[in-house]
Amino acid sequence: MYKHQWVNGTEANLPAGKVVCVGRNYVAHAKELNNPVPSVPLLFIKPTTTYQPFTGDIVLDAALGAHHYEAEIALLIGKQLDKHSTSVLDAVVGVGLALDVTLRDEQDKLKKLGQPWERAKAYDGSCPITAFSPITSIEQLKNNEVRFWLNNELKQVGHSQHMIFSYEKLLSDICQFCTLLPGDVILTGTPEGVGKLTNNAEVRLQLNEEKPFTALVRIQ
């Protein structure tokens, strides 16, 4: 069973909560998929069954179709946030990285039908996630960068300062209608460069200048 981890190898004393995901939070990514740039955050949720550690083997179901990667900065929530909360950044206790793995063909079908994306986004194992770096100062949330490599080829680079909606704006918006609880995770959107995962591919995620996380993709 998945449990949140800190980068020092210890287990975080937090439950594995829901994953609130943000779509189209980088202008270039919205444009690469021919999507309009949103004026308010575009949100969807992955359940706890989507978690798997971004380490060792990342196992995905071949029967579901082609899986596409979307690398994202992940925020770990440490205290409750609701519509009465003010200092929302104080609730962030960790920052890490994740892949919002997506069945792109299925998503395209759903979008054309005007239907929700859960079949393409919320399936088992579709949120491989790294260990979290603990947040001891709000300054740590001002300049975050994510890099993603597929088979040693750099595919995605994103920076928190290039997001359409900042961490603070996202949290403030989400908690107006959806209470965030300790152990919940926010995926803050993916930069341009998304693409298809292949079986036995090596994938690597790096936050800022920290040691990268590496895993192997097993599509079976």
In the predicted model, what is the mean pLDDT of residues 43-53?
Answer: 98
What pLDDT is recorded for position 167?
A: 98
pLDDT at residue 24 greater than cutoff 80: yes
CATH code at 19-190+199-219? 3.90.850.10
In the predicted model, what is the mean pLDDT of residues 61-70?
Answer: 98
3-state DSSP assignment of residue 146: strand
CA–CA separation, 102 and 209 (whole Å): 27
Portion of the chain with pLDDT greater than 90, in percent:
94
Q: Is the pTM of this model over 0.85?
A: yes
Q: Which amino acid is at 195?
A: G
Structure confidence at residue 5 as a pLDDT band (50, 70, 90): very high
CA–CA separation, 147 and 207 (whole Å): 7
CA–CA separation, 191 and 155 (whole Å): 10
What pLDDT is recorded for position 33?
A: 77
CA dist 96 → 28, 142, 197 (Å): 22, 14, 21
pLDDT at residue 31 greater than cutoff 90: no
C-alpha gyration radius of the chain: 16
Q: Choose between 34 and 16: higher pLDDT.
A: 16
pLDDT at residue 41 greater than cutoff 90: yes
What pLDDT is recorded for position 104?
A: 96
What pLDDT is recorded for position 176?
A: 96
Per domain, the residue ranges of the chain are: 19-190+199-219
What pLDDT is recorded for position 81?
A: 98
What pLDDT is recorded for position 132?
A: 98
What pLDDT is recorded for position 123?
A: 98
